[in-house]
């Protein structure tokens, strides 16, 4: 805290009275302190003639005398006061009363009492007698001297120390004296209050705890600077007042060359100078403390800025390090390695800005340390940490580049070996055996083989093994297995060439007997391998450019004169099924993780009060619109469906049963898809808001897509299942569970159709009824429609055959709706259809004619005994057949329902 010195006058703060407190009593002038001094420097208090002295209240007398005795310095007061009582115009009784009052209530130390006795003869005589008789009554321990005239007074007090009323030449103006006293005391009060304010402010500064946040520190700094500036202004004002007062007091002496300041006035000058010195000393002490405190606050703000920058850039760098650490894939081919290298380059470019910031912040931290910052122990480790992370990322990226470079080299060599082997196999397969039976043909074929084998030397195919041995430590088991497979294949192909060379060398020599030529077939049957030797077909072999591959790969058997390739084995089909089920489970896990990211990273944050100020008005209370029943879909997949699929990993044939078991649960997608247009419209309104930017950046780096892309995932997922089921069916012929797979595929296609139909249904406008009352939506689609009515529609009938109407039909169990399709564009986005309701037919009064003359794609729907006839033209025969079949099912169902109730049906399909 600030230690501020106190002036002597400030030590007298227990003094109860100031001039302003007794200003009225002082103006009565019944007692004055003129500034005169005795021979030994004793202060003189004069009681001038005052007719109402006897009537003064005791409190008024005591207050004035107490105040006057408090004015001289302690040194002067300790000598003792000299009291002069002027009663020349008064009576003995007034003298007696004055002495009695002074004796009973004078608060100071008395040295001498001088009384100017009444000048009238009788009163003087009475005074002489009275003083002798009553001296003991006054109980004064100091002499009481009765004087006859002022000339007698001059024998005791120098004329220069007496006012003109007492025959002296000491200048004294009572009103001016009061003005000086009030001004000095007012200045003393100002100095005291200013000093106290500085002390309190200094104490509050010393007790201030340093904030932990940038904004709080800035606010505190601004507040304290404002208070400091205000106090500084008050201090300057007080100093200006003191200087003005001092100048005013000193000017009294300068105005008159013969006038000198009396001791009291000199003490006034000393007091004001002392107060000014105190004020200046207080200001210096406070400013010294303030500079230290202000510097600490500034350093605190610098520290918080540095820590905030450190946290932000560290989060970014840690995120980049996590991405780099997760960059463990070395690729399974040249194209993928090139893609990984591009991704690594992109990651480096993204990291450049963060690394530059980190280096800049570390440099700033060094500057803070060099400037003797109080938090050096906190700043220095952070600077070291920033540089360490930058170095770790740079070194990590270099290591990744090195690994990927080696991987690229390996895979490039694998591709070269693969290409060479395929070319070799093709060469061997394309050599016509019949042409090799002659010596010339065999030698030509042998020459082709030797020329081809020389390319192996030029390509340095053997380096693949050396590279494998050299880079083995960085290779994944899959790549190692691939290399070993290719080395084995290379060895097999080379062995094939060796065997062919042996055969051809024998043929090129003199033959002892003819050999039956057999032409090789480079491709195998797509369905099964034939154990028999294929027939000669040299021209077909010559036309083939390459050997057809099966899922299980090319298996070539070398004999003296034939080759064959095998079909997929049951083992390869099993492997394919296992691969498909693994892919299904892995993508399901990823799908569940993505749903969880949407719910926790976006939906849950809408309820977070920290982000409430970022949420746009259009999104308030619209979480159900934006996300639909996504939480319900997530719960189903996370708690149920994923676990059931995982249980099929060892038994892929059970996957069909898994889908059939959850047929009803998968209907949740219909509700989600129905809400999708509303969700997309809301996203277009508020997708650019700061809320989504903040929440998107808070997601893991692997979640790079925007929210609208993730909200499309459920729609994509429900359509993906049927594709995987189709692939599973292809490799499950004659295996267990095929019936369930086929039924599961049919179920998923029905669900997708139901979802698609419901998406169209929600776009119907203008229908006054409730669509849910119409039963299940069975079919929907666009048609050309002509009308041919019996009553009141002659004009329409005439034009019917020429001008069709474009109508979108919705077939329900209870009604057939005719709507007009309209395209609507929303702010530049793709067009969304809507269906304006035009007409409806109750299915209970509908009939159907399957064939219409002149067009096989037309059929009729008629109403109330053909009062209204609608000729409907489908896009294809298949579409027509589906609709006619579905309408017949509805009508047949109604007929059976009526018969079951014992009723008669009047609706007869034509």
Alpha helices in 326-438 (DSSP H): 334-370, 376-430
pLDDT bin (cut points 50, 70, 90) of residue 3 is very low
If you search the block for the tokens 């490799």, which residue do you land on?
731
User: 815-824 and 805-812: which strand pairing?
Assistant: antiparallel
Q: For helices 570-598 and 713-730, give the axis angle rounded to 10 degrees.
A: 170
Q: What is the pLDDT of residues 142-190, one digit of tens each?
A: 788 888 888 888 988 988 889 888 888 888 888 888 888 888 888 888 8
pLDDT at res. 391: 93
Q: Which of 457-466, 666-675, 848-857 has the lowest mean pLDDT?
A: 457-466
- pTM (2 decimals)? 0.40
Which is higher by pLDDT, 592 or 562?
592
Residue 56's closest CA among 18, 100, 91, 17? 100
Average pLDDT of the chain is 80
Alpha helices in 731-876 (DSSP H): 738-761, 794-800
Q: What is the pLDDT of residues 805-843, one digit of tens each?
A: 999 999 999 999 999 998 766 555 556 788 899 999 999
In the predicted model, what is the mean pLDDT of residues 536-549?
37
pLDDT at res. 782: 93
Residue 808's closest CA among 836, 782, 833? 782
pLDDT at res. 202: 83
pLDDT at res. 798: 46
pLDDT at res. 394: 92
Question: What CA dihedral angle connects 537, 540, 544 and 548, to 10 degrees?
Answer: -60
Residue 275's closest CA among 84, 33, 468, 10? 10
pLDDT at res. 484: 82
Residue 718's closest CA among 658, 659, 648, 669? 669
Residue 229: pLDDT over 80: yes
Alpha helices in 509-549 (DSSP H): 538-543
Question: What CA dihedral angle connects 116, 121, 126 and 132, to 10 degrees?
Answer: 60
Q: Find which of 451-460, 584-593, 690-699, 756-765 is predicted with most confidence, using mean pLDDT.
A: 584-593
pLDDT at res. 395: 93
Q: Within a 10 A sphere around the Cβ of 226, how many other Cβ atoms?
A: 10
Q: Cα(608)–Cα(627) distance, rounded to whole angstroms?
A: 16
Q: Cα(112)–Cα(143) distance, rounded to whole angstroms?
A: 6
pLDDT at res. 371: 87
pLDDT at res. 256: 61
Q: Cα(188)–Cα(208) distance, rounded to whole angstroms?
A: 30
Q: What is the pLDDT of residues 714-728, one digit of tens each?
A: 988 988 899 889 888
DSSP 8-state assignment for residue 169? -
pLDDT at res. 11: 46
In the predicted model, what is the mean pLDDT of residues 296-318?
88
Q: What is the pLDDT of residues 646-694, one digit of tens each?
A: 998 888 888 999 999 999 999 999 889 888 888 988 998 888 888 888 8
Q: Cα(357)–Cα(343) distance, rounded to whole angstroms?
A: 22
Residue 98: pLDDT over 70: yes
Residue 859: pLDDT over 90: yes
Asked whether 646 and 722 are in contact (CB, 8 A), the reply is no
In the predicted model, what is the mean pLDDT of residues 5-20?
58
CA dihedral sign of residues 95, 101, 104, 107: negative
pLDDT at res. 762: 84
Residue 535: pLDDT over 80: no
pLDDT at res. 5: 45
| Tokens (6 digits) for 599 | 């719910």
DSSP 8-state assignment for residue 210? P
Which is higher by pLDDT, 425 or 47?
47
Which is higher by pLDDT, 872 or 569?
872
Residue 729: pLDDT over 60: yes
Residue 845: pLDDT over 60: yes
pLDDT bin (cut points 50, 70, 90) of residue 45 is very high
pLDDT bin (cut points 50, 70, 90) of residue 271 is confident
Residue 285's closest CA among 210, 176, 201? 201
pLDDT bin (cut points 50, 70, 90) of residue 136 is low
pLDDT at res. 513: 47
Residue 858: pLDDT over 90: yes
Q: Cα(460)–Cα(454) distance, rounded to whole angstroms?
A: 10
pLDDT bin (cut points 50, 70, 90) of residue 461 is low
Question: What CA dihedral angle connects 49, 53, 59 and 64, to 10 degrees?
Answer: 0
DSSP bridge partners of 872: 785, 859
DSSP symbols for 850-897: S-BTTBTTEEEEEETTTTEEEEEE-SSHHHHHHHHHHHHHHHHHHHHH
Residue 564: pLDDT over 60: no
pLDDT bin (cut points 50, 70, 90) of residue 440 is confident
If you search the block for the tokens 């990273």, which residue do you land on?
601
Q: Which of 450-459, 466-475, 531-540, 720-729 has the lowest mean pLDDT?
A: 531-540
Distances (CA, A) of 786 to 164, 783, 803: 136, 10, 7
pLDDT at res. 759: 81
| Tokens (6 digits) for 577 | 């099924």
pLDDT at res. 483: 79
Q: Cα(281)–Cα(570) distance, rounded to whole angstroms?
A: 103
Asked whether 34 and 46 are in contact (CB, 8 A), the reply is yes
Q: Which of 346-360, 540-554, 611-625, 703-717 has the lowest mean pLDDT?
A: 540-554
* Edge-to-edge strand ranges of the sheet holding 858-863: 764-765, 832-842, 815-824, 805-812, 777-787, 868-873, 858-863, 846-849
Asked whether 565 and 596 are in contact (CB, 8 A), the reply is no
pLDDT at res. 799: 47
Where are the extended beta strands (E) located within 3-109? 44-47, 81-86
What does R_g of the chain's alpha carbons equal in angstroms? 57
pLDDT at res. 785: 94
pLDDT at res. 515: 45
In the predicted model, what is the mean pLDDT of residues 3-19?
54
Percent of the chain with pLDDT over 90: 16
pLDDT at res. 904: 42
Which is higher by pLDDT, 772 or 398?
398
pLDDT at res. 533: 36
Residue 547's closest CA among 503, 493, 593, 599? 493
pLDDT bin (cut points 50, 70, 90) of residue 220 is confident
Q: Find which of 123-132, 249-258, 609-618 is predicted with most confidence, using mean pLDDT.
A: 609-618
Percent of the chain with pLDDT over 70: 82
Alpha helices in 155-213 (DSSP H): 174-207
HEC assignment per residue over 626-671: HHCCHHHHHHHHHHHHHHHHHCCCCCHHHHHHHHHHCCCHHHHHHH
811-816-821 Cα angle (round to 5): 80
Residue 814's closest CA among 890, 750, 723? 890
Q: What is the pLDDT of residues 279-302, one digit of tens each?
A: 888 888 888 888 888 888 888 888
């Amino acid at each position: 805290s600030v230690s501020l010195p106190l002036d002597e006058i400030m030590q007298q703060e227990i003094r109860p009275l100031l001039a302003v407190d007794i200003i009225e009593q002082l103006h009565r002038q019944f007692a004055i302190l003129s500034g005169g001094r005795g021979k030994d420097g004793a202060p003189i208090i004069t009681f001038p003639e005052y007719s109402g002295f006897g009537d003064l209240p005791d409190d008024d007398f005591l207050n004035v005398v107490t105040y006057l005795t408090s004015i001289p310095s302690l040194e002067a007061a300790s000598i003792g006061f000299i009291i002069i009582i002027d009663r020349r115009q008064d009576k003995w009784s007034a003298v007696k009363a004055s002495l009695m009052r002074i004796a009973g209530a004078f608060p100071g130390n008395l040295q001498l009492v001088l009384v100017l006795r009444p000048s009238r003869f009788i009163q003087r005589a009475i005074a002489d007698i009275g003083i002798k008789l009553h001296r003991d009554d006054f109980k004064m321990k100091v002499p009481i001297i009765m004087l006859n005239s002022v000339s007698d007074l001059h024998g005791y007090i120098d004329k220069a120390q007496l006012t003109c009323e007492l025959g002296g030449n000491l200048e004294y103006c009572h009103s001016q004296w009061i003005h000086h006293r009030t001004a000095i005391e007012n200045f003393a009060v100002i100095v005291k209050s200013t000093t106290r304010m500085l002390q309190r402010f200094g104490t509050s500064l010393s007790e201030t705890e340093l904030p932990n946040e940038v904004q709080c520190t800035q606010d505190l700094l601004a507040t304290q600077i404002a208070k400091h500036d205000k106090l500084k202004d008050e201090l300057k004002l007080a100093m200006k007042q003191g200087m003005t007062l001092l100048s005013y007091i000193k000017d009294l002496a300068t105005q008159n060359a013969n006038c000198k300041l009396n001791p009291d006035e000199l003490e006034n000058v000393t007091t004001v100078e002392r107060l000014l010195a105190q004020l200046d000393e207080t200001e210096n002490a406070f400013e010294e403390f303030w500079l230290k405190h202000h510097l600490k606050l500034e350093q605190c703000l610098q520290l918080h800025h540095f820590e905030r920058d450190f946290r932000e850039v560290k989060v970014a760098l840690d995120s980049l390090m996590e991405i780099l650490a997760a960059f463990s894939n070395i690729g399974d081919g040249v194209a993928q390695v090139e893609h990984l290298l591009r991704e690594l380059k992109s990651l480096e470019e993204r990291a450049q800005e963060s690394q530059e910031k980190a280096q800049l912040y570390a440099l700033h931290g060094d500057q803070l340390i060099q400037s003797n910052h109080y938090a050096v122990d906190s700043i220095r480790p952070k600077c070291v940490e920033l540089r360490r992370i930058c170095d770790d990322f740079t070194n990590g990226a270099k290591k990744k580049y090195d690994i990927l470079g080696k991987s690229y080299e390996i895979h490039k060599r694998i591709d070269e070996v693969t290409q060479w082997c395929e070319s070799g196999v093709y060469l061997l397969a394309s050599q016509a055996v019949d042409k090799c039976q002659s010596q010339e043909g065999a030698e030509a074929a042998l020459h082709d083989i030797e020329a081809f084998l020389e390319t192996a030397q030029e390509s340095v195919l053997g380096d693949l093994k050396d590279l494998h041995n050299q880079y083995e430590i960085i290779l994944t088991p899959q790549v190692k297995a691939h290399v070993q497979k290719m080395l084995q294949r290379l060895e097999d192909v080379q062995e094939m060439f060796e065997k062919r060379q042996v055969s051809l060398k024998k043929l090129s020599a003199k033959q002892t007997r003819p050999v039956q030529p057999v032409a090789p077939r480079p491709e195998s049957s797509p369905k099964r391998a034939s154990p028999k030797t294929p027939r000669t077909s040299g021209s077909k072999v010559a036309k083939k450019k390459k050997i057809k591959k099966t899922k299980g790969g090319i298996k070539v058997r070398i004999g003296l004169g034939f080759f064959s390739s095998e079909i997929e084995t049951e083992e390869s089909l099993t492997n394919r099924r296992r691969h498909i089920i693994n892919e299904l489970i892995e993508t399901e896990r990823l799908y569940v993780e993505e749903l969880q990211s949407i719910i926790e990273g976006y939906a849950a944050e809408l309820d977070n009060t920290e982000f409430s100020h970022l949420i746009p008005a259009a999104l308030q209370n619209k979480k159900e619109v934006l996300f639909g029943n996504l939480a319900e879909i997530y719960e189903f997949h996370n708690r149920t469906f994923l676990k059931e699929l995982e249980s099929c990993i060892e038994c892929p044939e059970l996957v069909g049963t898994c889908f059939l078991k959850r047929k009803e649960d998968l209907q949740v997608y219909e509700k989600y898809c129905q809400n999708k247009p509303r969700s997309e419209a809301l996203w277009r309104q508020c997708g650019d808001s700061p809320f989504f930017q903040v929440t998107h950046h808070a997601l893991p780096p692997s979640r790079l897509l925007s929210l609208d892309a993730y909200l499309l995932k459920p729609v994509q997922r429900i359509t993906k299942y049927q594709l995987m089921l189709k692939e599973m069916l292809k490799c499950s012929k004659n295996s267990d569970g095929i019936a369930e797979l086929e039924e599961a595929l049919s179920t998923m296609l029905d669900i997708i159709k139901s979802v698609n139909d419901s998406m169209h249904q929600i776009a119907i406008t203008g229908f006054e009824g409730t669509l849910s009352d119409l039963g299940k939506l069975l079919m929907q689609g666009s048609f050309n429609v002509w009308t041919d009515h019996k009553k009141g529609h002659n004009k329409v009938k005439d034009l019917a055959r020429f001008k069709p109407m474009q109508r979108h039909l919705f077939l329900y169990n209870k009604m057939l709706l005719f709507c007009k399709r309209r395209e609507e564009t929303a702010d530049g986005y793709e067009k969304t259809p809507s269906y304006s309701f035009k007409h409806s037919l109750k299915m209970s009064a509908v009939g159907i004619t399957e064939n219409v003359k002149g067009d096989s794609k037309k059929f009729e729907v008629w109403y109330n005994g053909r009062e209204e006839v609608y000729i409907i033209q489908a896009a294809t025969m298949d579409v027509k057949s589906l609709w006619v079949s579905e309408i017949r099912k509805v009508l047949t169902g109604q007929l059976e329902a009526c018969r079951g109730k014992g009723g008669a049906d009047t609706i007869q399909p034509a």
